[in-house]
Amino acid sequence: MQTSDVVIVGGGSAGLTLALLLATGEHSKHLSIQLLDQGPAPLPQPATFQRVSALNLASKRLLEQLAVWPQLTANPAYQRMEVWEADSFARISFDAASLGHPALGFIVDNEQLRQQLYARVQQLPQISCRFGVTIKEISAGDEQNLLQLADGQILLAKLLVGADGANSFVRQQLQLPIAFWDYEQHALVATIRTAEPHQQTARQVFLPAGPLALLPLADPHLCSIVWSTSPQHAASLHAASSASFSQQLTSACNAVLGMAELVGESSVYPLTMRYAKQWFRQQAVLVADAAHTIHPLAGQGMNLGLMDVAALAELINQQLARNLPLVEQRLLRQYERWRKSEAQQMIAAMELFKRGFGSQLKLPKLVRAVGMKLTDQLPLLKEKIMAAALGNSGDLPQLARPEVIKL
């Protein structure tokens, strides 16, 4: 039987970031931390950009504090963003320079981020990582959590953190209820090559069946796309020949970058919203996708998860600075209130966008077009809209704020 202060279940970016934050925090660096994951350990390999995330400035600041950001070899910044609706004059654009920022965001390869976080974790003796581990059962108690592994080992933890994704085993074992709905869309993800350079501009077009996002990569002619559409259409696109896919994609984005062609393989996954009604039980707590998943149209999923773990680590540091126990119900309630509020706002905004662009009737389309055109002509309103997306507003953890305060 082995006892740790903290056991983190989930070796993705959120779990690894939390381990780093705790192991480098001024008052939490003495904690013993175990990280468990069912899959294999990340292996060093070149970035493929098959699955990417758009990180905002808050996430960049956090990763800089952890000495991870400089190790990401290809994290192309985008300077502009263009959003429009198909078959409409509705259009709005954002420019980093006009907002006084060096960039609007950064496109990061998900697996490379995970590799670099893991490389940093391996430098810290307080953190023990175990991959290829299957958890059979979890029992949450008032003073500690008991984890029974498939090989018969028993682990004890004062604090258990579920960072194990949308289908969280920890959440299921804790019997934490969730709100769930199916967006009735699938997302097709792929890398494309375009005839015209993307000019470091992120683009999103709202189509009748859902949004299509084009995210610029380091190569000026490569973009990562996320095409949210009906399950039937996504399956058809996935099965289409290269020529057919190229024709459909080029038409969908109105040839904004000339002819576009598929590079490598595409993948398809269903889009659902999950939201835990309760984020903790006794001495166990959820973070990131284990607590919430949102529609990818705003590209904020990874940013939300990183802010979750930064908030939890900050509260734990404050707790230990006051010579209080590592875990108290008050602390977990404070974390839940803080991050639930941020997640609720993002989920509501995504649903508003989805429903707002869902109707193809003439009057709603006209209202959207007029609204976007007016917004595009109001610099102060555009700046306020972008402040949240950039990670420069809201109740941010200290390490992610524009003026970073070291814990």
Amino acid 402: pLDDT: 84
Q: Whose CA is closest to 284, among 117, 142, 110?
A: 142
Amino acid 406: pLDDT: 44
CATH class of 2-47+57-72+109-180+273-400: alpha beta
Amino acid 43: pLDDT: 86
Amino acid 300: pLDDT: 83
User: Tens of pLDDT along the chain (407 residues)?
Assistant: 899 999 999 999 999 999 999 999 999 999 999 999 999 999 887 767 778 999 999 999 999 999 999 988 667 899 999 988 887 777 888 899 888 888 999 999 999 999 999 999 999 999 999 999 999 999 998 899 999 999 999 999 999 999 999 999 999 999 999 998 888 999 999 999 999 999 999 999 999 899 999 999 999 999 999 999 999 999 999 999 999 999 999 999 999 999 999 998 999 999 988 999 999 999 999 999 999 998 887 678 899 999 999 999 999 999 999 999 999 999 999 999 999 988 888 877 776 666 656 556 565 566 666 776 676 666 776 677 677 778 887 789 999 998 754 44
Amino acid 355: pLDDT: 62
Amino acid 407: pLDDT: 42
Domain locations in the chain as residue ranges: 2-47+57-72+109-180+273-400
Amino acid 337: pLDDT: 96
Amino acid 4: pLDDT: 96
